[in-house]
């Protein structure tokens, strides 16, 4: 027969109580973790549902506006898309430093309307155009015409969008869209003509200069704007959009 003393019994009771408390703490921690996982999973599913609803709403709204535009005139919708493309090309063209490219073998110089970049041993550094070139009247006029061209394209895009989606019955907006589109093409033409006529001022003596992608994008924007304007004039003489507006 084994007799356990009071101190030993107390120790056993203490260890039992400690073990029981530890087990309860572990179970409580696991329960909290499970609840947190459930909350995270629920929040994740809700976010997916909200995102799906948002995407569906955007797609439905976009299809609705496209349907409205097609009901007015497919030709005018094509003009609107072309103006947006021209606006993007002109933005990239007049803002990037690649109107002219000078290949010097060991170095390369790319110049635009605002910055000039020099590449030596694969190290490229850019700086704002300043000095004699910036002070020339033709260069300032070239910058101004490019800005006017971009603003005109932006206004043309806004007016064309209003005509397609909101103010379908207003004829003045139709004519203003045509006018601003051709104005944009004219401004871009003047800007590029000034640059071509004075390219020697932005070139290096003894090196060949080539036109870069910025110049090409700007010219492309001008051509697209002309095409968009012609399409709107054709639509005007056909009376497609105006007839549909009057019939509605």
pLDDT above 70: percentage of residues in the chain: 69
Query: Under DSSP, is residue 110 helix (H, G, I), strand (E, B) or coil?
Result: strand
Query: Under DSSP, is residue 211 helix (H, G, I), strand (E, B) or coil?
Result: strand
Provide the H-helix boundaries in the chain: 6-72, 74-95, 132-135, 137-165, 171-197, 213-238, 240-247
How high is the pLDDT of residue 4?
45
Q: Rounded to whole angstroms, how far apart are CA atoms 159 and 182? A: 13
pLDDT digits (tens, 9 = 90+) for 13-45: 454 444 555 555 556 566 666 766 677 767 766
How high is the pLDDT of residue 177?
92
Q: Torsions phi, psi of 108, nearest 5?
A: -140, 135
Q: Which CATH number fits domain 73-247: 1.20.140.150, 1.10.10.10, 3.30.70.890, 2.40.50.840?
A: 1.20.140.150
Domain spans of the chain? 1-72, 73-247
Q: 229 and 209 in contact (C-beta within 8 Å)? A: no
Hey, what's the torsion of the CAs at 99, 141, 151, 244, to 10 degrees?
-100
pLDDT digits (tens, 9 = 90+) for 70-124: 555 677 888 999 999 999 999 999 899 999 988 877 888 888 899 888 888 878 8
């Amino acid at each position: 027969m084994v007799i356990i003393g009071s101190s030993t019994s107390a120790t056993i009771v203490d260890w039992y109580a400690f073990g029981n408390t530890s087990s309860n703490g572990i179970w409580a921690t696991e329960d909290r973790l499970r609840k947190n996982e459930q909350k995270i999973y629920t929040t994740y599913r809700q976010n997916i549902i909200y995102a799906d609803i948002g995407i569906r709403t955007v797609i439905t709204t976009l299809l609705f506006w496209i349907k409205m535009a097609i009901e007015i005139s497919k030709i005018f919708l094509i003009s609107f898309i072309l103006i947006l493309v021209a606006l993007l090309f002109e933005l990239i063209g007049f803002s990037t430093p690649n109107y002219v490219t000078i290949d010097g073998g060991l170095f390369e110089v790319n110049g635009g309307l605002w910055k000039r970049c020099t590449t030596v041993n694969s190290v490229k550094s850019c700086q704002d155009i300043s000095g004699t070139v910036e002070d020339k009247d033709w260069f300032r006029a070239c910058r101004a015409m490019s800005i006017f061209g971009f603003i005109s394209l932006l206004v043309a895009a806004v007016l064309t969008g209003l005509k397609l989606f909101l103010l379908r019955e207003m004829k003045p907006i139709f004519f203003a869209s045509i006018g601003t589109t051709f104005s944009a093409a004219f401004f871009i033409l003047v800007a590029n003509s000034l640059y071509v006529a004075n390219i020697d001022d932005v070139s290096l003596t003894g090196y060949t200069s080539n036109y870069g992608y910025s110049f090409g994008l700007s010219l492309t924007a001008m051509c697209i704007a002309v095409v968009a304007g012609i399409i709107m004039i054709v639509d005007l003489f056909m009376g497609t959009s105006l007839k549909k507006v009057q019939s509605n």
